[in-house]
Every structure is written in C-alpha cells, then in structure tokens.
Structure 1
Amino acid sequence: MNSTLQCLSATYPFTSFFLDGSYKRSINVYNPLGTKGNLANAFAELLKALWKEDYTFLSPVTFRKNIITFAQQFSGTDQHDSQEFLSFVLDGLHEDLNRVKHKPPPVEMNPEREHALETLPPEVASEKEWGIYKMRNDSFIVDLFQGQYRNRLECLTCHKELIDEFVKAEVMEKEDAWNCPRCKVPRRASKTLTISRLPPVLLIQLKRFTTQNGVFWDKSETPVIFPVKSLDLTRYVPSRAPTGKEDLDDPRTQVGPFKYDLYGVSNHMGTLSSGHYTAYVKSSKGWMYCEDSRISKAQERDVVSRPAYILFYKRVRA
C-alpha cells in the first residue's frame, strides 16, 4: 500500500485535484458502482495529511478501513499485489468521480459495427469509439490515466480484418480460435494490439508474476532497462495532423510527439510469500527512496533497478 500511495502522491496534477478540493464538485453519489464519495474523501484526507509534513511517518488507518469496507481482499496482514491495489484505487476513484450521472445503455460490438469501423481511417475510428466510451465513463481519472488500444483481428482463412495494426501479431488457434463473422465458424486468426490514445500519466506494469488458476505462481527477476527521461512512444501511435484547435501544451492532446519522463517506481523485492515493496519518487528536491516509515535521498542511477515493478511516467511537451 505504501509504495503505491507514495507514487500516486507524487502525481502532482492528480494530487492537487484532491488537495484543493476540486474533486468535491465531481462526486457522484448516484453511481451504484462507486462508494458515494467515501473513497474519494478518505483519499483526499490522506493526501492532505501527507502533504502537511507534520508527521515523521503516517499510518493510513482511516483510508485502509475505507478500502477494506469495499474490498475485503485487502483485509488482513498478507502481502497483496501493488498493481491490484493501484487498479482498485483508481477504478474506485473513477466511479466516485464519474461525471456521468445517468449512464446510457452500453453500445454492443457486432459484425455490422465492426465492418463500419473498418471503413474509417484509424484515427477517425479511434475518436468515434472514444466518444462512445466517454458517454459512460468521464472522470478526472479518465482524463489523466486512461488511454485506448486498437485491436486488429484477421482471419487466416478468408483474411477478414478488424480495425487496425500493432507491433507483433499473436496467432489464435485451437481452443483460442476466433469465431470469424464471415466464415461463421472458429478459425485460426492473428491478433494484434496497438495504442490509439495515450494518457498524460502513463502507468507501465512489468510482468513480474505469472499466475495459475488466478493464484500467483512464480516471479521473474529479469532486469529491465527503462529510460528515466524521454521515453518516446510516438511511433506506436497513429499520426494525427493538427487541426489548429488543439492546445499543444495540454498533455491530453493526441498530437505527437509522445514523450514521457519517469517520476515514480514501485519496487517488489523478495519472493511471492515473503516480499517487500518500496518506491522511488521524484520530488522538487530530486529522487527519494521510500521504505515503510523511512524516506531517504536517492540518485537517479539507483532508480533503474532489478526490483522495478510498476513505472509511473508523465507526458512532457517539447
């Protein structure tokens, strides 16, 4: 919990939204998927306590009680996956702050709609689908953290294609065969994903753990080299020509370049049964190392380390 909260606290646009009370205007008490603002309020109070700097260390008892009320899996003293906790917090805050008071019925994907999307340029199809998504999901969390993938499926018998490209194809066959809408039967197919929209804050989870039947089974200690500055993802996003209406200084603008600087790392050390989480976060004073109740200065060269598990990047404009 501490590792994740330290990294979220270092996400300054996100943090200031709660510290100045702006979040209160977005609380949606009508959303059955939310906590009627309880989680958002508890998170705001925790951030205020953290940023007051009145404590040598802080135990988030009230915040944890709110978490356990809505997610019993985080009760007890067992170690939990920081990515699972991060997802729960962001999803819960999104539902609490969803600006959509009354959601329209979901728009189902069907062969006719898939075919209509195929006829559109990728960037147009992306904008169309993003608009549909935001009819039901529109919050500060979406603005800051959420992006969009594009899917491409191609039947290897009739070569029927859906949407568009990615970097590397995955072949779907045997029990994973795709039910081709043209052939009307399961077919061997290739599947690819690509990014069609990137968020201002990019969270990257390194696949450290493998699971079997929903249970963590093994951990990979493979060292991963990642850039601290100027992670460039421009080539993975479809090119969009500026219309002249964009604010090119706004990190939400979907016009390249798409470059990111690292500001936080959640680390996992040890084994599945007896692991330990720490964090590196970048502050105005430089890089800091957070471990339980202790915070110490760190060097940039220390940040790219073997225990890295979740990377926190923010978009920077040239």
Structure 2
Amino acid sequence: MFSGNEQHDAQELATFLLDGLHEDLNRVVGKKPYIEDLGELKEGQDEERVAAESWGNYLKRDRSVIVDLFQGQLKSTVTCTECGCQSSKFEAFMYLSLPVPPPSKDGKSLTLDDCLREFTKEEQLDPENMWRCPRCKDFRQASKRFELWKMPPLLLVHLKRFCSNGRGQHVKRAQAIITPLNGLDLSAYTGGSLGVSSAATYSLYATCNHHGTMHRGHYTAHCRGAGFGGSQGDAADRSKWHTLDDEK
C-alpha cells in the first residue's frame, strides 16, 4: 500500500493501522451476523432509540478495543428544499475529517471551532446530485448537514488542508489552526445525549504535522507527556510537549 518513495498521507496510514488492529482484535469471531438495519431515521421515529439501535447493531459485527476507544457515531440529515421532508441516518466514524475554511479577510486567526462549524453547517447538494424525496415522490434539490452524536473516549481529527482552487489545481491551506490544549467542549456540535456529558470534552495529546506541498514534504509530531527516556515523571513532566522529527 505504501511502497515506493512517493509521499503518502499520515491519516491514511493511521486508518490503515487502526483498521488492521480492529480486524485482529475484533471480539466478533466467525461469520458476522447479517444486519438489515442501516441506521435510517424515518419521520415520526424517536431519534434516540434509532441511534441506540443502530449502534447496537454495529457492535454485533464490529467490537474491539479500537471501537471502544476511537469510534463514535455521526448523524447526517438530508432536507428537501421543496417540502421540508427530512431523512436522517446514523453511522459510525473512526475520525473526523474537518474542512479548513479559507483565511478570513480581516486576518483573524482560525480556530478548531471554525473547522467544526464548517463541518456541521448545512450545505446545499449539487443540482446534479438531486435527492428522491419520499414525500414529494420525485427528485428534488436538498440540503445536508452533519451532527456529532456519540463521542469516543479518544478523538482523532484530520484537517483537510488540501483543496481545489477552482482551476483544476490543488493548493494547501497552511494557516495555523488554534486549538485549546485542554477543555475542548464539543457539546455544541453534538445532537444526541448518547455518550455526551464528559465524553464531549477533550484535551490535546498529540499532533501530526505536514510540512511541504501536496507532492513533497516531511512529517513531524508533537506529543504531550512523560515516558520519553523511560521515565514516567511527575505531573510537570506529563504536561511537557516533545517534538519528534526523524530529520533531527
């Protein structure tokens, strides 16, 4: 998968490793049960119940320490712009892949909240991607939005820094994203009560950083905590940040 000397995405590597560990550690052994439920929420149904049933059905096929630690649940909702009919679906996620907004005209620094708002905002689907509305019984233009529903104990966030410039070229949005080291509260972006409370607040533990362009670059990492050099250290050591760079 990662042969040759070409640059590859660190997020793809992390997903590849976690997926492999999940398959090896999956507590569901043998033939996995067939699950007909797709986590779809129909009009009139209780969303908390449907979300819980969807998560329970997911665990009947996939249950490992990787799922326990890293996976959560998203709710996506499509709304008909003609009649307002909505259709929602619940699905598991391993990481959040957040868009990076363009730099603000006033020079204001971007924050992780800006990326989360961009991810969860309602957006219009392309006219070429019309949705068949069950109420109108015809293809209609529609909007779509995401909500965080069930949050994992350990949250992986991928920032989508490469985007099209509208001229067939991919450019990198390299501006800094300000992220709180402690107390990142995601409850404003969470639609459900399943697994919210303390699980919606996070502290930053590590970052993986890309330096360079889409075709060539270098990765470094920053990690918080003791244990470097074999010592667990005291509270002060556990709050220190360490830079990992194989070129130094």
Count of paired positions:
204
Structure 1 Cα separation of the partners of residues 221 and 54 of structure 2: 36
Alignment of 1:230-241 (within 5 A): 230-238=183-191, 240=193
TM-score normalised over the length of structure 1: 0.59
Match of 2:107 in 1: none
Q: By how many angstroms is 1:238 displaced?
A: 3.5
SS of the equivalent of 2:180 reads coil
SS at match of 2:156: strand
Matched, 1:292 2:234: no
Task: Output the TM-score relative to the length of structure 2.
Answer: 0.74
Distance 1:266 1:206, change over 3 A: same
Q: Paired residue for 1:270, among 212, 217, 233? A: 212
Mark the runs of 5 or more structure 1 residues left unpaired by the alignment: 1-72, 241-252, 295-318
2:65 partner letter: F
SS at match of 2:74: strand
CA contact (8 A) 2:150 2:196 kept: no
The equivalent residue for 2:149 is 196
SS at match of 1:262: coil
Paired residue secondary structure (2:197): coil
CA shift digits 1:198-237 (9 cap, x unpaired): 000001111112379xx99332112211111111112222
Code of the aligned partner of 1:124: R
1:169 aligns with 2:94: no
Residues 149 and 192 in structure 2, CA contact (< 8 A), matched pair in contact too? no
Q: CA deviation at 1:280?
A: 0.2
Name the amino acid aligned to 2:36: V
Other-structure match for 2:197: 256
Q: 1 CA distance for matches of 2:33 and 2:9?
A: 34
For residue 181 of structure 2, the aligned residue among 196, 208, 228 is: 228
- For residue 75 of structure 1, report the CA deviation from its aligned partner: 1.0
* CA positional deviation for 1:239: 5.4
Question: More strand per residue: 1 or 2?
Answer: 2
Distance 2:20 2:134 in 1: 36
Amino acid at match of 1:190: S
Asked whether the 8 Å contact 2:131–2:142 carries over to 1, the reply is: yes
Whether the aligned pair in 2 keeps the contact of 1:209 and 1:216 (CA below 8 Å) is no
Q: Secondary structure at the match of 1:196?
A: strand
One-letter code of the match for 2:150? R
Distance 2:241 2:12 in 1: 25
The RMSD of aligned alpha carbons is 2.6
What displacement does 1:189 show?
0.8
Separation of aligned partners in 2, 1:183 and 1:104: 35
The CA deviation at 1:282 is: 0.9
Does the aligned pair in 2 maintain the 1:151–1:163 contact within 8 Å?
yes
Which position in structure 2 is the counterpart of 1:105? 34
Could you say what secondary structure the match of 1:202 adopts?
Answer: coil
Instruction: Name the structure where helix makes up a greater proportion of residues.
Output: 1
Query: Does residue 187 of the first structure (1) align with residue 140 of the second (2)?
Result: yes
Asked if structure 1 preserves the Cα contact closer than 8 Å seen for 2:187 and 2:196, the reply is no
Are the counterparts in 2 of residues 114 and 163 from structure 1 also a CA contact under 8 Å? yes
Q: Describe the shift of the 1:144–1:159 C-alpha distance in structure 2 as closer, same or farther (beyond 3 A).
A: same
Question: 2:185·2:202 contact (CA, 8 Å) conserved in 1?
Answer: yes
Q: CA deviation at 1:190?
A: 1.3
- What is the letter of the counterpart of residue 62 of structure 2? N
Instruction: State the secondary structure of the residue aligned to 2:6.
Output: coil
Shift of 1:100: 1.0
Structure 1 residue 120, shift from structure 2 partner: 3.3
**Separation (CA, whole Å) in 1 of partners of 2:156 and 2:171:** 22
- In the alignment, the residues of structure 1 paired with residue 72 and residue 142 of structure 2 have an alpha-carbon distance, to the nearest angstrom, of 26
Matched letter for residue 290 of structure 1: L
How far apart are residue 137 of structure 1 and its match?
1.1
Unaligned runs of at least 5 residues, structure 2: 90-118, 227-236
Provide the residue aligned with 2:68 in structure 1: 143
Q: What is the alpha-carbon distance in structure 1 between the residues aligned to residue 138 and residue 126 of structure 2? A: 12
Q: CA separation of 1:261/1:76 partners in 2, compared to 1, >3 Å: closer, same or farther?
A: same
% of aligned pairs identical? 41
SS in 2 for 1:151: strand
